[in-house]
Chain A
Amino acid sequence: MTDIATPTPTLPAADARHRFGAFGGRYVPETLIAALDQLEEAYHEARTDPAFLAEFDALLRDFVGRPTPLFRARRMEEEAGAGPIYLKREDLNHTGAHKINNTIGQALLARRMGKKRIIAETGAGQHGVATATACALFDLECVVYMGAEDVERQALNVFRMELLGAEVRPVSSGTSTLKDATNEAIRDWVTNVESTHYIIGSVVGPAPFPRMVRDFHSVIGRETREQILAVEGRLPGSVVACVGGGSNAMGIFHPFVDDADVRLVGVEAAGEGVDTGRHSASLSMGEPGILHGALSYLLQDSDGQVAPAHSVSAGLDYPGVGPEHSHLRDTGRACYVAVDDEAALRAFHRLSELEGIIPALETAHAIAYILNEARALTSTGPCVLNLSGRGDKDVAHVARVEGRGSLL
């Protein structure tokens, strides 16, 4: 099933490898160049190595639980007054979200490179849990950097990571959130680069990370394509996914990028509103800039300092975005919209009530958009939502936001 790429005998020229149009690149301290070269080489070999691909496939099937179902959401169609609408059930993966596709792939690569120590950054803790899970499976040492504020807010995920044998290091520099945890992970990598692999959690960072993470997640889009063709006999009219860093969106978009008639829609977090300055809508409101090794749309102030992001959903709370999304935006191949906290919270409730599925708050942003725009999204064919994660992790947070904290 896995067909990450067609074999290429040699690596193409640097800009073609490292960029998406003008975006991406390798804007990192010199110390990391050797490690990025090594990773690129190892990945280049692995992606065409049948043994590697077979092992990856088997783990996705037997450990992660793939393929995930494509489920037709009939009550959602009724509510929205249009259809068909399908949900790609990434919430049913082991650990409850799409994140594990990437951590399994990268842990396999780390083992291939002989690196025994893994570091990762995490916001809400989903990528941290998925990384800790892969490290337990492969017996790798695991250190997860997490903003001190997030450590407070997501105590349960901290405990999960610890149960899985990982060490969680709170980061209290800067804004004490995901971007600062990412800075700290990069600092660790610069320091321990010879023994350590950095499992980055989204389609961000210096090349080759954005392509590699996308490729590991593109199984989502490949399955979707097969499944929708089997059940509908046609391609989707639209594919919708939430975008923070953008890994679940790139995973489902990628196998459809060459199908010009399939609309690709990314939904960012408008937070308290894109005009309030408290949002995470990098593609809608940012300007191109350089953060964490790549040129991409970035929330920044008038002096080029990175602006703090905000969203009710910790997984979207990031001021940057994967460089391939910037490219898809500028070429017009994908369009990006923003949905605010309130609408996302309403959608969180609606999907739970309508379909018996509590979605992740991140995903709820995309659900809100579909509930409003279903007619347009289904006008040329079925709409597929990437239901990127389950919402159990958000239940306590939503209860607090809605003033029912005393329940917990």
Chain B
Amino acid sequence: MPASTPPTSPAAPRTLADAFAVRRAHGQAALIPYICAGFPPADASLALMEAAAEAGADILELGIPFSDPLADGPTIQRATFEALGAGMTVRGALEILRRFRSRHDTPVVLFTYLNPVHHFGLADFVREAKDAGAQALLLTDLPAGADTALEAVVRDGGLELIRLLAPTTARARVPEVMDGAGGFLYYISRTGVTGARTALREELAREVEALREEVALPIAVGFGISPPEQARLVAGSADGVVVGSALVDRLEKEGVEGAGAFLAELRRGMDGEGLS
């Protein structure tokens, strides 16, 4: 752990709860982009995070790439392998976060698979991540109840543990999933891996509404949300909209600037501007 961290942050980072509360006060949903650390290469990832914050993103998911991303579709796999090929590491991702945090108060969720942080040493990782300015951790392959000791390490270290819920999750399991969950509930819009889809399932809004009876945390919906119309539809029922693959797609085609513009479009779409 680095001995000294310069206190360069302009203000303490906002909490996830604050980020949702601010939007809710305006009848809006939070925009939560996923950015893969190291795609584009390190400095450009930082530029992308900054562009996202400026385009109206409320929370950032910063992905730490893993060699075997079995929950991800082709788009995020591509970003992952390019990032790893260019030498991105766990420490490298934390360094990007640290630099972002020195200028921005947008809360950041670190998003990865268990093995890289397990190998790093989960307690050490949580401490360094918090020190670098993270608010929360989401581990795709650590479902509720799978390893309560590891879950405790995350919470005891002071990071909120983000839980995922799937359309296949049994109703009876919801309380177990929510037990100890922090920040927001990430609802997976459909069975499957990450990746933009042309249509959302019709049941989605109903499912989110039904969940509210049991879930006190804000509910963000992700997996497969692409055009602004979809973001708007989801924003109608959910508290937050996660956008990953569609952003990577745009990034590949149009670079950081285009990706920023895309997020601004999504933001306007979610807020009902510029759409009939």
Contacts and interface: CB of A to CB of B under 8 A. Distances in A.
Interface of A: 14, 25-35, 37, 173-174, 179-180, 182-183, 186-187, 190-194, 287, 289-293, 298, 300, 303-306
B74 interface: yes
Contacts of B120: 303-304
- Residue from the set A28, A191, A194, A305 with the largest chain B CB neighbour count within 10 Å: A305
Contact of A291 (B115, B117, B143, B147): B115
Contacts of B69: 183
Contacts of A28: 141, 143, 146
Contacts of A194: 168, 191
B242 interface: no
- Residue from the set A25, A29, A191, A192 with the largest chain B CB neighbour count within 10 Å: A29
B192 interface: yes
Contacts of B66: 304-305
Contact of A290 (B72, B118, B167): B118
A304 B192 contact: no
SS class of chain A's interface: helix, strand, loop or mixed? Answer: mixed
A406 to B, nearest CB: 37
B168 A193 contact: yes
Given A33-B168, A182-B70, 7 more contacts: A27-B141, A28-B146, A29-B140, A173-B77, A298-B115, A303-B116, A305-B115
A303 B73 CA distance: 23
A115 B22 CA distance: 46
A120 to B, nearest CB: 15
Nearest to B121: A304
B188 to A, nearest CB: 6
Interface stretch (B169-177, B227-235, B246-254, B261-269): B169-177
A308 to B, nearest CB: 9
Contact of B177 (A30, A173, A192, A287): A30
A299 to B, nearest CB: 11
16 contacts: A14-B145, A26-B146, A29-B70, A29-B141, A30-B144, A30-B169, A37-B170, A179-B68, A187-B192, A290-B113, A290-B141, A291-B115, A298-B115, A304-B66, A304-B117, A304-B120
Contacts of B74: 173
Contacts of B142: 27
Contact of A30 (B81, B117, B165): B165
Interface string B139-169: 0111111110000000000000001111111
Interface of B: 66-74, 77, 81, 84, 89-90, 113-120, 140-147, 163-170, 173, 177, 188, 191-193
Contact of B116 (A37, A174, A304): A304
A182 B69 CA distance: 11
B42 to A, nearest CB: 15
Contact of B70 (A33, A187, A300): A187
Contacts of A34: 166, 168-170, 173
Given A29-B140, A31-B188, A173-B81, A306 B67 contact: yes
Contact of A25 (B113, B146, B192): B146
Nearest to B141: A27
B24 to A, nearest CB: 25
B169 A306 contact: no
A35 B168 CA distance: 8
Given A190-B193, A305-B84, A27 B71 contact: no
Contact of B115 (A26, A31, A289): A289
Contacts of B70: 29, 182-183, 186-187, 190, 292
A30 B114 CA distance: 14
Given A25-B147, A190-B193, A31 B168 contact: yes
A14 B68 CA distance: 26
A328 to B, nearest CB: 21
Contacts of B169: 30-31, 33-34
B242 to A, nearest CB: 14
A181 to B, nearest CB: 11
B246 to A, nearest CB: 18
B16 to A, nearest CB: 19
Contacts of A29: 70-71, 140-141, 143, 164, 166
A305 B119 CA distance: 9
A31 to B, nearest CB: 4
A147 to B, nearest CB: 13
A180 B164 CA distance: 24
Nearest to B117: A304
B104 to A, nearest CB: 26
- Residue from the set A30, A34, A37, A174 with the largest chain B CB neighbour count within 10 Å: A30
A58 B132 CA distance: 61
Contact of A191 (B116, B143, B170, B191): B191
